[in-house]
Each structure stands twice: as C-alpha cells, then as structure tokens.
Structure 1
Amino acid sequence: MGGRYGKGAGRVALAGVLTALSLVILYLASMAPTGRLGVVALAGLVPAAAVVSGGLPAGFFCYAATGILGFLLSPMKENALLYLIFFGLYPMLKCLIERLRKLPLEWACKLAVFNLALTVFWFTLRAVLLAGLPAFMEQLWALYLVGNVVFVIYDYGFSKLISFYVQRIDKAVRKA
C-alpha cells in the first residue's frame, strides 16, 4: 500500500496536515466533559487516513508526531498516553496484521495487541480507566471480558470507517 502520494514532499505534507488534525482532535478530548475516550479514539482514526493515502511511513509519522506533540501540549496527559499506547498505534498495527491474510491468526494477533494495551492501561492509568466504568468492571476478569467484546466491535467499525474513507473520501480527493 504505497498510498496516493509517492515519496517526498507530498507524503510529508499529507502527514503534516493529518498530524495537525489528529492533534486538534486530541486536544479537544481534554476539553470534552464526557466521552474523552471516544474523542481520543476519533483522533486515532486520523493515522488510518495517513496509511491509506500516504502509506505506512506516513501513518507512523502522523502517529509519532501527534503522540509527542500531544504529550507536550495537551493539558491532560492521560489522553496522549491513551493515544500513544493504543488508539494512535493501532491503525498501523491493524494494517500490518491484516497482511497475514489468515483470519484466525489475524484475530489472535489483534486480540493480543489489545490485551497487551489493556494490561498497560491497567497498570498505568487505573484511576482514569476505572473512573467511567461501572463498579462490576473493577474486577479484572470482567474488564478483560467486556474489553475484548468492545474491541471486536471497535475493530469491525474501524474497518467499515476505513472502507468508507477509501471509497468516498480518498477516491474523491484523487479525482480533484
């Protein structure tokens, strides 16, 4: 997946613009009174657009630049950490994992990535992670069970959004 833009200035410009968009969304997550996790997840969709239009290097650039700048500029460092540990990195990992073309192996890898990220969240952001969860989710087994179900739904929806981007947005931009 080389992306729309070849090597050079076009790819860097695309990654820079998408980084700015992702950073703005990540910053808005700190101002959202509720639904911060959803807004951070929305910021994590932008590197997927970078991967589709500019290739994996553009996606990794968008992820790294947004993560670093978000950590430096965001008033809520937890949001930047959520982005760095999972939401920003997942689009590139998803692209690499789906190249395996073996569905059971792909799901095993995706679930392993999610569970690793959830474990890191548990140990680093427990107070933030548990703040919006029902009391029964404080049990670790319930957190992993419900988390994995939600992740499968997230991955399915994420795939649909990428497909929409490829069919409608990227295609329209290429014609312009």
Structure 2
Amino acid sequence: MRTAKTAAFAGVLTAMSVVLLFVGVIVSPLSYVLPIATGLLMILLIESVSVKSALLTYFSTSFLSFILFGGKETVLFYVFFFGYYPILRLSLSKIKIKLLRFILKLLIFNVAMAGVQLVLIYVFGIPFDNMFGKMGIALFFIALNLIFILYDFTLDMLVTIYDKKLKRKITGIIK
C-alpha cells in the first residue's frame, strides 16, 4: 500500500508541476517565477519520500512540459536548473567550506542560465533582445543571481519549516 500512496503522491506533484509550468507559459510575467515555485515542490518529495521519487517527478515533469507546451522559456528554466536544484542541494550541502559551496552553487546556476539562453537563441531561434544593450544583459544576469541567492535561502527556510511543522503530517498520509 505504501508504494501506491507514494506513487500517487509523486503523480499529484508531477501534475501540479506541469500545471504551474503551463500557467507560466500562458502568463508571461510568471515565466520566471513559476519554474522556481515548481522546484520548491520537490522539497516535499525529497523530504517525505525519497530522492529517487523526486528525480522521477523531475524527469516526468520535464518530458510532459516539453511535449505539451509551446512556450519553451519557462520549461527550460525548470529543466536546466530549478527542477533538479533542490535534489542537487543535498550533495552540495555536504561541502563543509561555506564559501566554496556558495561559489559552486553560483557557478552551477550561471552555467545553467547561460545554457538556457544559448538553447533559446540557437535551437529555438528566440533572440535575446534587450533595449539596454550589453549593459542590460549584465543587469539581467545580476538580477538572476540575486533571485537565485534568495531562492537558495528560501529553500533552506522551507526545509526547516517542513521538518518542524509538516513532515509528520505528510509522512502520516503517505505511509
């Protein structure tokens, strides 16, 4: 019975993730916010079930979103970073030197965001236009880095809140 409940829980979170990404595709201003929110759902799976379930949900959501949606920017943000980062954080948290851990997180994030932009430009033919020129591109990446730092801090807070207040309730429902 536990396996069925776990699969159902992962399926529901996959469906919620796909719906959130769909809304991000439809409502343009949310195309950056909803991949972040969708990534936060992974915390529930990682903490309540397992990393394996979180990975399956990540791959399922990525696959379904690419097939179903025309707006690729939202999906690419999820696929390239926000979907798997909560899972990757577990490995990165084992690095004892905080500065090294922080630099590595920023490096992974920036490589992923550059990858998103390159895929958008060279695969999907979507130009990276900016009315502010090269300075605007630099400001865009600075803003993305600030958002990432807030996101990482938020993940830490959510894990703490989840462990203290929700874990027992959700694990009780699943098991």
Q: Is the 8 A contact 2:65 2:75 kept in 1?
A: yes
Query: What are structure 2's unaligned runs of at least 5 residues?
Result: none
Contact 2:31/2:73 (<8 A) preserved: no
Q: How does 1:11-30 map to 2 (within 5 A)?
A: 11-30=6-25
Report whether the alignment pairs 1:153 with 2:139: no
Alpha-carbon contact 2:35-2:77 (below 8 Å) kept: yes
Name the count of aligned residue pairs. Answer: 170
> For the structure 1 residues 167 and 74, does the alpha-carbon distance in structure 2 shift closer, same or farther, using more than 3 Å as the test?
farther
Residues 130 and 41 (structure 1 numbering): CA distance in 2 closer, same or farther, change over 3 Å? farther
Task: Please report how far the alpha carbon of residue 22 of structure 1 lies from its aligned counterpart in structure 2 after TM superposition.
Answer: 0.9
1:135 matches 2:169: no
Name stretches of at least 5 consecutive residues in structure 1 with no aligned partner.
none
1:140: how far off?
A: 4.5
Q: Which runs of 4+ in 1 moved over 6 A?
A: none
- Aligned-pair distance for 1:18? 1.3
| Match of residue 85 from structure 2 | 90
Look up the equivalent residue of 1:107 and give its one-letter code: F
Distance (whole Å) between structure 2 residues aligned to residue 129 and residue 155 of structure 1: 29
Give secondary structure in 1 for the equivalent of 2:32. Answer: helix
Aligned 8 A contact 2:36 2:78 in 1: yes
Give the superposition deviation at 1:51: 0.9
TM-score by length of structure 1 reads 0.80
Contact 1:137–1:143 at 8 Å: present in 2 too?
Answer: no
Q: Secondary structure at the match of 2:70?
A: coil
1:115 partner SS: helix
Distance 1:128 1:166, change over 3 A: farther
- Alignment check: 8 A CA contact 1:26 1:40 kept: yes
Alignment RMSD, CA only?
2.7
1:171 to 158, 168, 172: 168
TM-score (normalised: structure 2): 0.81
